[in-house]
């Protein structure tokens, strides 16, 4: 299991939370109808943090120019955002959410790039 992200109760249904696991970039955890999704928090259009945006169904809206991303895939669904943001796998255990090992090594690699 990878780094701890937050507890499941930190992210109510329809909510999102910024998390910054040690040595990883800022990530955002979203709760869509009880399923948790984790994606890179930095918008692919600019430098805004998606963690400050609104979660509308399964879309996370950028607070700066209102571009949107599908949190299930990371794909951009509304301009001006065009490029996807990275998504990460997480697992739930004993009320906590953790990145999977594969996800945390991907995150480290993308941070190093």
- Report the interface residues with ligand FES, using CB under 6 A: 43, 45-46, 48, 62, 64-65, 67, 80-81
Is the CB of 40 or the CB of 99 nearer to ligand FES? 40
C-alpha gyration radius of the chain? 13
Alpha-helical segments (H) within the chain: 101-112
Measured from the Cβ of residue 13, the count of other Cβ atoms closer than 10 Å reads 10
CA distances from 54 to 27, 41, 68, 104, 106 (A): 15, 13, 9, 25, 26
Name which of 46 and 57 has its Cβ closer to ligand FES: 46
Query: In the bound complex, what is the minimum distance in angstroms from residue 43's beta carbon to ligand FES?
Result: 3
* Minimum CB distance to ligand FES, residue 54 (Å): 12
State which residue, 8 or 65, has the beta carbon closest to ligand FES.
65
Q: Give, as one character, the DSSP assignment of residue 37.
A: E
What's the closest the beta carbon of residue 55 comes to ligand FES, in angstroms?
Answer: 15
């Amino acid at each position: 299991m990878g780094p701890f992200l937050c507890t499941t109760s930190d992210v109510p249904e329809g909510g999102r939370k910024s998390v910054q696991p040690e040595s990883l970039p800022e990530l955002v955890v979203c709760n869509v109808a009880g399923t948790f999704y984790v994606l890179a928090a930095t918008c692919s259009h600019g430098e805004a943090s998606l963690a400050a945006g609104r979660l509308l169904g399964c879309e996370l809206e950028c607070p700066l120019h209102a571009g949107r991303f599908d949190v299930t895939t990371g794909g951009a669904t509304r301009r001006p955002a065009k490029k996807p943001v990275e998504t990460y796998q997480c697992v739930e255990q004993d009320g906590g959410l953790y990145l999977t090992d594969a996800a945390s090594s991907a995150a480290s690699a993308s941070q190093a790039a």
